[in-house]
Amino acid sequence: MAVIVVDTDVYSYITSSDPRRGLPYKQHLDGHIIALSFITVGEQYAGYLKQISKGTWPAARLAKLEAGLRSVAIIPYDIQVCKTFGALKAKSEGSGKSVAVSDLWIAACAQRHSLRLVTNNRRHYDAIPGLDIVSEAPGKRKR
């Protein structure tokens, strides 16, 4: 089984209580080991904790997040991810194309390990040369 990196938005779709949200990405994920960047894990915790603190979700819902995280591979940072991030940031700043820092970290995790990234935010990643992405969102790259 090949490993594929899933962006925060797609992971939210596939773990949603409404399974229809993840359907467009099922074809890209079936038969793969799903990996998340350490950034995506942090963004998931932030989203869950925000909803819990607002009282929209019960605190017990955090167990759902943690159960889901046990079923995926989590890509940690290492010196090579940091070097890749630095190179991507320098290239994006040098080209005048702004890419959000969290998206650069996710891209760095995927590129450092030569993995495809599945995202619904194609525009966030189109400016990153050499990044292998697949998306069902409109945009430049086609897969």
Helix (H, G, I), strand (E, B), or coil: what is residue 141?
coil
Maximum mean pLDDT: which of 12-26, 64-78, 129-143 = 64-78
Residue 100 CA to residue 61 CA, distance in Å, equals 29
Which pLDDT belongs to residue 95? 78
> What domains appear along the chain, each with residue ranges and CATH number?
2-134 (3.40.50.1010)
DSSP 61: G
Distance, first Cα to last Cα, the chain: 20
User: pLDDT for 87-102, tens place per residue?
Assistant: 999 998 877 788 899 9
Supply 36's token pair.
């998340």
Which secondary structure element, helix H or strand E, spans residue 4, and what is its range? Answer: strand 2-6
Residue 128 has pLDDT above 60, yes or no: yes
In terms of phi and psi (left: phi > 0; alpha: psi -120 to 50; beta: otherwise), the region of 58 is beta
Which pLDDT belongs to residue 142? 43
Supply 21's token pair.
């949200």
Rounded mean pLDDT of 95-119? 93
User: pLDDT for 28-78, tens place per residue?
Assistant: 999 999 999 999 999 999 999 999 999 999 999 999 999 999 999 999 999
